[in-house]
Structure 1
Amino acid sequence: MATLALSMLLSSLGTSIANIALPALTDAFSAPFHHVQWVVIAYLAALTASVVFVGRFGDIYGLRRMYLAGLGLFSIASMCCGLAPSLWTLIGARALQGVGAAFLMTLTIALVRETASEERMGRAMGLLGTVSALGTALGPSLGGLLVSVTGWRGIFLVQVPLAVLTLILAFASLPHEAGRTEERHPASLRTVRVTTLLPNLLVNLLVAAIMMTTLVVGPFYLGFGLGLRETLVGLVMSVGPMISIFSGVPSGRAVDAWGAQRVLGVGLTMLAAGAFLLSILPESFGAVGYVLAIIVLTPGYQLFQAANNTAVMADIPKDRRGLISALLSLSRNTGLILGASAMGAVFAFGVGTGDFKQASPMAVAGGMRLTFHLAGGLMLIALGVAFWPSKRDA
């Protein structure tokens, strides 16, 4: 479990640590925001495009073998990112890193399902949520420090030793029979009733889009809208994930005690409230208002994540766990892409320009307000989708 938790840390760190460097990359490569944005999007797009294939490979060739291959690929790609001579080379290396992250994110969930008992699966998923939040927290704070001390290359090179350490631990600790199935032809999409999972997958997509929106829009609002320095931006951005670190395991315990559906509703309600607060409080109270809204948003995300992952994976047969875990990752990563691209475009539209340095603080605040009004509306839609099946079945 410790090894698998480290791999989840790596995949979340790979997502969050690059966001804080977007303004620095804009300066380093003299590139506009819509070009630099692809440093985030390429990672997420490659991750998303790979997850279903990764899940199938895990079911066919063994979860452990494919997991180790993904760790090796992630290590090499992280080194390539840190040594990239141009923006488009960096974007290509980030895409390769995203493929490696697809192995880590997808197969980690499937391997955890191999080790957790039915009555403790909520806690196991909560642990993954805690470690994922730790990676998200380390990304802005560590990234802000590294950008100011070593430049943007340090945010990628720091991932190399952690990936190598995880690879060594995986070789030593994961049993060789982990994830093996006696069937020669594991289940395909045609043999899996995906329609029963569609509400969970769609809501997972919407929630991921909102969380990525905070990671992409937040640094620009705090930096250009409020005028905070990079290190302080990193600290403010790490507040929410730090809260998530302490709420992940309790969220899993809540799922085991109260049931996935009830916790799911509470989490989505908090997410909707937090999104609307982000559209209101920062404009009136600055960084303090931003933090107050995040205090509502992030525990809601941890409650949702533990409940939704448990609901999706609870009754999946052994020969289908790689594939279903892949679909769960696919929906999440599609949402991350939408948050980075579509919601980023909404923010730029609200600001009135893609060159945020030339925009006034008032214009940046207007973009923030528009973006999170929309985010709150999407969370209300997610609530309706999540509870429509239960109403229909009733």
Structure 2
Amino acid sequence: MPDATGVRGRKGRLLHERERPRWVRESPYSWQLAVAAVCLGAFMGQLDASIVTLVYPSLEREFHEPLGTVQWVSLAYLLVVTAMMVTVGHLSDVLGRKLVYLYGFGVFTVSSAACSLAPNLTVLVCCRVVQALGAAMLSANSVALVTIAVPREKLRGALGIQAAGQALGLAVGPTLGGVLVSTAGWRWVFWINVPVGVAAIVLGRYLLPRTVQRATDARFDLPGTGWLAVGVTALLGGVSVFSGLPVPGWTGVLLIALAGVAFAGFLRREGRAPAPLVSLALLRDARIAWGLAGAFAGYLVLFGPLVLVPLALVRHGTSEMRAGLLLSALPAGFALAANLQERLLPERWTDRRRCLLGAALSLAGLAGFARAAPADLWLIGWLAVLGTGLGVFTPPNNELVMGSVPKELSGTGGGMINMVRSLGTALGIALVTLTFQHGGDHTGDSVLPALPVGVLAAVAVLMGVSALPGSRPEPSPSP
């Protein structure tokens, strides 16, 4: 039996960040290598978010479960990421960002293999919860790792590369998902994560720098995390009941009421917590509050169609492969617009004007869904317009929020943006599922049902409205 010293030694090694080999540290390309390693995590996180929506029809058929139950393959994942993002980020500041990042990839990889072997939907959802914990460990550290690895003068370009990795994962997801589901089966949507995860762990071990400065304040707002998790779970659970979850209807009302109580408890806790998840003082600034509302609305409109389009097309007789190929126009438009708008739009345009243009394009794309069939080119075109609008809207929206947050609270502001993005994604999936169940028959010439498209259009209006109230006066451009 090993002695206490041996146990402590092994524990120390498990919690020790190993430094990079000297040839990596001294290489003039060391920061590019670190960014490349981080991009694998950024790519996989967004790939997994968009690829899973293609498996809904297959899961309905194989497990004989209603759509209201199947959607929890995504919702359970998003709930954990939402609840744990800020807490895991703070844990990384204390223990080491490289350490938590690599362990996160390990958790993500092993749980992906478990998802692919799930014998029923319950086990699959449980495995997705574990996978989400690994994803939170990745997402909370990617930007921080880039920041500590890259020289200051190269940081903006490096963050752009990292964002491009995320956009690429989001764009590739529907196409890859459609191909895998149609040819190899839905389980390969999860198997594909395993080799990439193993490669990322090895590369991260040798290419990522150790954490030099660590936080000394290890306080966590665990009660706040608990209230938030209960509130979001109850809200989405109530929506799922009305979407067809096989439980008595009164439980939906009870869950919605529980969500209200939990959110009230969360707000009360955040007002008194020494290290809150959400700074209520920041939310008193109308520019920040409305900007966060816009970020929430933008991701709801982005992820709602990622569920709606495959469901509607497959029920209309389209294969998963073709549905995935068509759907890729949305994230592709988003990726291109988010990365090229600085070159294409006039430099003098303010963030507010860019947000309004993005919201208008998004609304136009959703309005075009009324003519999005049966010709494939119509659907591809309007999905591209929608994606372009969201790509134009998102970066200046984030800039409006972060530009209003004091620099010493930039970490808190960034965490709040990530949180509302996750909430918008989860509610987008839940609302589209609910409205699809109760208004899923297409009308007229369109294969996309009017009710969920109308809900998404109303949220797109909120995107535009969010850029108006409380917007900070911006200086007139110099002549």
TM-score when normalising by structure 2: 0.71
Other structure's SS at 2:140 match: helix
Q: 1:49 aligns with which of 67, 70, 83?
A: 83
**Deviation at 1:39?**
1.0
Q: 2:457 aligns with which of 370, 376, 387?
A: 376
8 Å contact from structure 1 (residues 21, 152) kept in 2? yes
**Deviation at 1:320?**
5.1
RMSD of Structure 2 on Structure 1 (CA): 3.1
Q: Distance in 1 between matches of 2:145 and 2:97?
A: 7
Greater shift, 311-320 or 288-297, is seen at: 311-320
Q: 2:182 aligns with which of 148, 152, 157?
A: 148
8 Å contact from structure 2 (residues 40, 165) kept in 1? yes
Q: What is the letter of the counterpart of residue 430 of structure 2?
A: S
**Deviation at 1:105?**
2.1
**Deviation at 1:204?**
1.0
Q: Judging changes above 3 Å, is the alpha-carbon distance between structure 1 residues 130 and 393 closer, same or farther for their aligned structure 2 residues?
A: closer
Q: 1:239 aligns with which of 329, 345, 351?
A: 329
8 Å contact from structure 1 (residues 251, 303) kept in 2? yes
1:248-282 deviations in whole A, cap 9, x for unaligned?
3213567995554443333222222222222x221
Give the alignment of 1:226-305 within 5 angstroms: 227-251=317-341, 257-258=347-348, 260-278=351-369, 280-283=370-373, 286-305=375-394
1:332-390 deviations in whole A, cap 9, x for unaligned?
01001101112220122112xxxxxxxx6549958622212221221212221222112
**Deviation at 1:130?**
2.8
Q: Distance in 2 between matches of 1:125 and 1:263?
A: 21
Q: What is the letter of the counterpart of residue 229 of structure 1?
A: S
- Listed as ranges, the gaps of 5+ residues in structure 1 are 352-359
Q: What is the letter of the counterpart of residue 174 of structure 1?
A: L
1:113-140 deviations in whole A, cap 9, x for unaligned?
5567888766555444432232122222
Other structure's SS at 2:141 match: helix
**Deviation at 1:31?**
1.4
Matched, 1:337 2:422: no
Q: Judging changes above 3 Å, is the alpha-carbon distance between structure 1 residues 58 and 390 closer, same or farther for their aligned structure 2 residues?
A: same
Q: Distance in 2 between matches of 1:374 and 1:63?
A: 40
Structure number with larger C-alpha Rg: 2
**Deviation at 1:176?**
0.8
Q: Distance in 2 between matches of 1:213 and 1:111?
A: 31
Q: 1:389 aligns with which of 460, 464, 470?
A: 470
8 Å contact from structure 2 (residues 91, 218) kept in 1? no
**Deviation at 1:218?**
0.6
8 Å contact from structure 2 (residues 171, 332) kept in 1? yes
**Deviation at 1:55?**
2.2
Q: Distance in 1 between matches of 2:108 and 2:345?
A: 32
* Larger relative contact order (Cα-Cα within 8 Å, sequence gap ≥ 6): 1
Q: Distance in 1 between matches of 2:96 and 2:347?
A: 33
Q: Distance in 1 between matches of 2:168 and 2:420?
A: 21
Greater shift, 1-10 or 244-253, is seen at: 244-253
8 Å contact from structure 1 (residues 56, 323) kept in 2? no
8 Å contact from structure 1 (residues 8, 105) kept in 2? yes
8 Å contact from structure 1 (residues 126, 248) kept in 2? no
Give the alignment of 1:1-394 within 5 angstroms: 1-114=35-148, 124-177=158-211, 180-181=213-214, 183-184=216-217, 188-189=275-276, 192=279, 193-195=281-283, 196=285, 197-225=288-316, 227-251=317-341, 257-258=347-348, 260-278=351-369, 280-283=370-373, 286-313=375-402, 322-351=411-440, 362=443, 365=446, 368-390=449-471
Q: What is the letter of the counterpart of residue 324 of structure 2?
A: G
Q: Distance in 2 between matches of 1:296 and 1:76?
A: 38
Q: Judging changes above 3 Å, is the alpha-carbon distance between structure 1 residues 7 and 305 closer, same or farther for their aligned structure 2 residues?
A: farther
Q: Judging changes above 3 Å, is the alpha-carbon distance between structure 1 residues 102 and 115 closer, same or farther for their aligned structure 2 residues?
A: same
**Deviation at 1:182?**
5.6
Q: Judging changes above 3 Å, is the alpha-carbon distance between structure 1 residues 328 and 121 closer, same or farther for their aligned structure 2 residues?
A: farther
8 Å contact from structure 2 (residues 333, 385) kept in 1? no
TM-score when normalising by structure 1: 0.86
Q: Judging changes above 3 Å, is the alpha-carbon distance between structure 1 residues 37 and 364 closer, same or farther for their aligned structure 2 residues?
A: farther
Q: Judging changes above 3 Å, is the alpha-carbon distance between structure 1 residues 198 and 316 closer, same or farther for their aligned structure 2 residues?
A: closer
Q: Judging changes above 3 Å, is the alpha-carbon distance between structure 1 residues 54 and 170 closer, same or farther for their aligned structure 2 residues?
A: same
8 Å contact from structure 2 (residues 327, 383) kept in 1? no
Q: Distance in 1 between matches of 2:180 and 2:345?
A: 37
Other structure's SS at 1:236 match: helix
Percent identity between matched residues is 27
Q: What is the letter of the counterpart of residue 371 of structure 2?
A: L
